[in-house]
Structure 1
């Protein structure tokens, strides 16, 4: 995700600094402004900007300056792209030439509205000419359906400069979206998928032959998961892969960790000073922290011999200790996290992904896995897995699904 950092954000932060009353809040806001201006040429953004904004919001909440908290939340939403530039500038009246800017937007809006009305009038006349006995309600319904179809407008490659509205595409897309959302098919964003399929003759031809539509969508989803798992395996076996590489390969794939997770939380920095690698949300709304360590670049082994038995090394114990510290911080900040982010941390748990059996070729893989499983039985809210065991488990689960859907893992 690209973090937005520009003059508009800086001006809004200066307004917040004027409103803030407590010195610690002002200092936190000024730290954000200083970061913005620390770039060599352009304003500096990045993950550090979001972290500093989160710190400033926390200071404001601690000081009970709730107006500042709300303003800083707008700053975060703008930096993350959830508020448009025009809306942000108008909301805070950031520029002295606001009337000029508003005038430009007003003219644009007026032109668009005028063109839309002309289109509606033309289509209405054509419909009445073809159906002279049509009632007013029928004409209005026809124009309304045109507006719904217009949302799925396409730009054909064979007619540059021309656009096409496919009649009935909105109704088809609505049917598809209901099918996808109805529980028969698991797709991440039903609206986007349905919109794309509604204007694709090839996809619609396949759907027409499959009245349920389940096989097509399920196979596509499983094929995508298989490809993602293949890429992930390559990363965990790469001796040069960093934690960032591992995190990037795992993000957006909560299914790998099991079916009890419904997705990833939007915020990674829930406690000051701590940023979790991957925050998952369980079906009951509770948080599950994924703590990532290196795989093939770990720089040590996972188990060692102690009194004729295999036991985890200090690398494993240190990683577990870090995960436990995360959980303690989440417990201590439970009320604030639930209030600000809507995430329940009371029943939070964690999994530590660390190492690869190939780091110890002289120790059987099953011995390593069994040692970690025994270790896990003595832990309460933390589980330790090697990257290979996680991927193998996900692959077994996916393999059964692929066979059930009639999809070949090797197909492309």
Structure 2
């Protein structure tokens, strides 16, 4: 095979780079991509790609390309031609992941065999499902000696810490049952039990307020509890839940349908947001 002038130049450049030690010495296959700008620009671009989400997206793209050689050339060409290609690809990858997670949550909610711990594992892995009002999930879950809560997120707006308790959709059971003698929807056993659990936990926090404030700089009297339990598919259940929440203090009940609605709103926001905003949200 005879090399043309441009090919000969590229080969010479590659051999020169190899002789200078720029090419890794490990045995294996490598992709050599043309780049725009000076070597300094390339170095800066590589340094900019240290963000986890961008690197993960690049790894996913390269893995897909290695499994489908036909798109490898197109991938390389786009990387060389568009310096923001990684950001755009990362945004697309993130949205694809979020859609898969949302579908997974919907499937789990409809599956009566899914246990409480499985919901906890998914929400711990994908905290964005709780909504954008939280800035982070704290590592600390124990605030009193005998109690451990499922999640402890910090709100974005005021920095307040909240406690989140995850239960199950209660397949076959309603949150509220009709009390014919009083003509009201009364909380069911499961709902009453978890509300009492949250009340007990908040009471213990209040009793330990001074020690927690001194040691952790958190004012537990401002802490609230959020409970995720059951479903609310009909108007009677939704009205009863709104009424019940309206009379609770420092406790809010959200159904799994409500959680799903929050996650869908978050996804819609990032579907409509520019790519540079989408890429910021990591999991």
Which structure 2 residues correspond to residues 2-401 of structure 1 after superposition, within 5 A? 157-158=28-29, 170-176=43-49, 190-191=51-52, 193-194=54-55, 197=58, 202=75, 205-206=78-79, 208-209=81-82, 211=84, 215-283=88-156, 284-296=158-170, 300-306=173-179, 307-338=182-213, 340=215, 343-357=218-232, 365-401=234-270
CA shift in 2, pair 1:329/1:238, >3 Å? same
| Cα distance in structure 1, aligned partners of 2:134 and 2:93 | 21
Larger RCO: 1 or 2 (CA < 8 Å, sep 6+): 2
Structure 2 counterpart of 1:97:
none
> TM-score, normalised on structure 2?
0.67
Matched positions, count: 236
- Could you give the per-residue CA deviations for residues 238-295 of structure 1, whole angstroms, max 9, x where no partner exists? 1111111111111132322221101211121221110001111112332111111222
Deviation at 1:204, TM superposition (A): 8.8
Cα RMSD, aligned residues only:
3.8
- Could you give the per-residue CA deviations for residues 189-224 of structure 1, whole angstroms, max 9, x where no partner exists? x25635874996948934852648654333322222
- Do the aligned residues in 2 keep the contact of 1:237 with 1:296 (CA within 8 Å)? no
SS of the aligned residue for 2:174 comes to coil
| Cα distance in structure 2, aligned partners of 1:316 and 1:226 | 30
| Cα distance in structure 2, aligned partners of 1:385 and 1:236 | 14
CA shift in 2, pair 1:254/1:243, >3 Å? same
| Cα distance in structure 1, aligned partners of 2:76 and 2:227 | 42
| Cα distance in structure 2, aligned partners of 1:154 and 1:288 | 52
- Do the aligned residues in 2 keep the contact of 1:351 with 1:385 (CA within 8 Å)? yes
- Do the aligned residues in 2 keep the contact of 1:290 with 1:352 (CA within 8 Å)? yes
- Do the aligned residues in 2 keep the contact of 1:243 with 1:292 (CA within 8 Å)? yes
| Cα distance in structure 2, aligned partners of 1:207 and 1:338 | 54
- Do the aligned residues in 1 keep the contact of 2:137 with 2:152 (CA within 8 Å)? yes
Matched, 1:402 2:275: no
SS of the aligned residue for 1:270 comes to strand
Deviation at 1:393, TM superposition (A): 2.9
SS of the aligned residue for 1:278 comes to coil
| Cα distance in structure 1, aligned partners of 2:108 and 2:135 | 24
> TM-score, normalised on structure 1?
0.48
- Do the aligned residues in 2 keep the contact of 1:240 with 1:296 (CA within 8 Å)? no
> Structure 2: which 5+ residue stretches go unaligned?
1-15, 31-38, 63-71, 279-283
